[in-house]
Structure 1
Amino acid sequence: MPTPSARDRILDTAARLFYRDGYRGTGIDRIIAESGVAKMSLYRHFPSKNDLIVAYLESRHDYWMGWFRDAVTRRLAARGNLDIMADALGEWFATEDFRGCSFINMIAEAGGGAGDDPRLLAQAVAHKASLEDFVTGIAHDLGLSSPREVAEEAMLCIEGMIIRYQTTHASSVIDAGRRTLGRLHAAHSAA
């Protein structure tokens, strides 16, 4: 296996630290030390910490959306109901390093306007729009009425589950999400 490039080592290290310790709690010097690159190398690839955060969020979006699509699609074959999204989230919640949604965490740390860099808020908005589009597609494929409205309501449940589980680590969050998404499915199913 080839040795990862300096850029990849920086991004991998930043991803691990940002997700585990937060954006504010992770300093550039720590990323440099743990990635084993020179300061000049970091700044050549990422001129500012926010540039590194943007690159991390892009990478996280691609990774997480790919994972979620796969997790939902696997479950749809067995049970064609919106409630399978709760089970997919439960799989994520059960991972050892679960720390919530990177995008929600970033907004919480930087403030509603994502601090002084509009790219950060734009990343979060784009991620959530992509997730909502995916859920809309699932609702459409399941033959539910008003797929966009279903997705809007499902997003409230999905986001709420993530926050609730992040704060409580209670398995009842998954059960409640499953019930809520199941009722939403039933309300929009053809009679």
Structure 2
Amino acid sequence: MTSAELTGQLTGSPTGDLLLASGGTKGLVIELIGFAVLVAILARWIVPLILKMMSQAQERIAKQLADSEAAGQKLAEAQAAYDNAVAEARAEAEKLRADARAQNEQIVAEAAAAAQARADEITQRATEALEAERISAVRSLQAEIATMAVDLAEQQVRTALQDDAVQRRVIDRFLGELEGGISNAGSAPAGSTGGRSA
């Protein structure tokens, strides 16, 4: 099929076949006119429609790309925010654990100090009580021993005074000591004088 026949079929002209069949310049002109009409129709209605559809498709694709990029950016921002939140939560948890450990150590230290102070106080009170009891016991024993000593001395004096033989011996001894002391006193000057005369 030649271009003239194609043009005749496109234009729907029944005379196109005749003109083409007769040949010549007329047929060529008609073919050019038909082609020009076809190009004009394409340029007037089809091409703008195709361009419009292509433009809309490009806009949709561009919008989808932009939306995809925006979604990717939002996803990256959300991931970064999530990572930051997780890091902050971990840091806060670590800080809370450190604070809890510090408070626990402080509470234990305070409890130990309080327990030590209480133990020292109890020990001091017990020591003071024991010392007071010891002093009281010593005083009580001293008083009892003094009483017993006085009672024993009184008993011995009574026994000694009641026993005549003992009384006589005590008196004799006392008198003998007195006589011995007097005789010694009388003989001492004579001895000293004799010593000087010699």
TM-score tier (shorter): under 0.3
**TM value normalised by structure 2:** 0.18
> Between Structure 1 and Structure 2, whose CA radius of gyration is higher?
2
**TM value normalised by structure 1:** 0.19
Q: Which is bigger in relative contact order (C-alpha 8 A, separation at least 6)?
A: 1
